[in-house]
Amino acid sequence: AIYYSSIIFITVRLNVVFTCLPFTVCSVQKRSRKIPWYTINLDSAPHKRWNQLISDKKVEVTNLIQAIKNLANDFFPSGKLIELVDKHLNAVTAFLNIVSLFKVMHIAGEVMFFNVFYEIFTVCTSLVAEDTTGKLYHARNLDFGLFLGWDIKKHSWEIPEYLRPLTVNLDFQRNNKTIFKSTNFAGYVGMLTGMRPGIFTLTMNERFNIDGGYIGIIEWILGKRDGFWMSFLTRSVLENATSYAQAKDQLTNTKMLAPAYFILGGNRSGEGCVITRSRKACLDVWELDLKHGSWYVLETNYDRWKDPLFLDNRRTPAMKCLNETTQKKISLPAIYDVLSTKPVLNKLTTYTTLMEVSSGTFEAYLRDCPDPCIPW
């Protein structure tokens, strides 16, 4: 199923011809549509801490799961895929400690299906930048749902439409004190975007890799469980790492189920990097290098030593706009503008999160991309 998906992924991209790619006009945008906050109490039992959120978003989560199932059944009309996933993934649900949570919703097995989806269909842009006073900014666009049902009438992808109402900011607390914050989708238990205020900021981007990309996930489903889900590693780091160095160490050295990029920012000048991971090894750590003029690092979904796929170049326009902004003028609003520039902003973009570690600023905004806008 998953390989089938990657083939479609490539063909869809190659089949669409763009006439408007080569030029980038850096955008200026007003920030609006803030995302609501929920507090998650880490002192209460795992199956209780999500109650409020899930009861508020129950209808939306159920709608999304139904939409995903319909899409899966379009690819595999027999319904066999869902059956297989239900059968094998009960174990996963138990492992994730969310059984009781989803029993409330009567959807245990399906939920896992939906959690796996996030690990596979996410494309994003993330960056860490340092201003001339040494302040560190970290921001990301989350683009989700590639090729999952293009709605010709509405000119939009089906899945992001379902995800926008599920997008929430979470404040994870112990003893009534914030441990970390994250932008999340209700019902998803991994972390793609988060910050430990005052300490570090972290985002994860998917890394497509033909050899070994999804083998780990398939092995995991079939029972060989010695690696970490990528967005579980980020969650564990956000919850338990207490410094930039410790976070970096865990992100570079933990065995995972699939390749990924981790974008990590610390709280001191020069602490910012993109970690390129294969399942078992760290392939590259690209760090800020202020002495040599590198005041930002930026990652989309391609290795930095390779060219991006020519039909999906979000890297060059984002860098061009950062270069035009200059280090002197960099700020969260300026970064928001960079992330609002098409095609960095596209039809898949669900949210933009802006973080500033030292002040603890954490803001997220729902996005959509008015026409004319490219599908990814």
> Which residues contribute to the site for ligand NAG (CB under 6 A)?
175-176, 198-199, 235-236, 239-240, 243-244, 267, 293, 316, 319-320, 323
For ligand NAG, the closer of residues 66 and 323 by Cβ is 323
User: Least Å distance between CB 302 and ligand NAG?
Assistant: 14
Using DSSP's 3-state secondary structure scheme, residue 45 falls into coil
User: Least Å distance between CB 322 and ligand NAG?
Assistant: 7
Give me the residues paired with residue 261 across strands: 205, 276
User: Least Å distance between CB 198 and ligand NAG?
Assistant: 4
Q: Do the bridges between strand 167-174 and strand 156-157 make them parallel or antiparallel, or are there none, so unpaired? A: unpaired
For ligand NAG, the closer of residues 51 and 323 by Cβ is 323
Q: Do the bridges between strand 37-41 and strand 167-174 make them parallel or antiparallel, or are there none, so unpaired? A: parallel
Q: Omega into 308 within 30° of 0, i.e. cis?
A: no
For ligand NAG, the closer of residues 132 and 323 by Cβ is 323
User: Least Å distance between CB 43 and ligand NAG?
Assistant: 6
DSSP state of 84: H
For ligand NAG, the closer of residues 130 and 158 by Cβ is 130
Going by C-alpha positions, the residue among 172, 173, 179, 146 that lies closest to residue 160 is 146
For ligand NAG, the closer of residues 107 and 233 by Cβ is 233
33 phi and psi angles, rounded to 5 deg: 60, 60
Active site residue 273: no
Using DSSP's 3-state secondary structure scheme, residue 347 falls into coil
Element (H, E) at 141: strand 136-144
Which residue, judged by CB position, is nearest to ligand NAG in the bound state?
243
Catalytic residue among 124, 273, 321, 369: 124
User: Least Å distance between CB 365 and ligand NAG?
Assistant: 25
CB atoms within 10 A of CB 120: 18
Q: Which residues of 252-285 are buried (b: 16+ CB within 10 A; e: fewer)?
A: bebebbbbbbbbbbbbeebbbbbbbbbbeeeeeb
**Which residues form the catalytic set?**
124
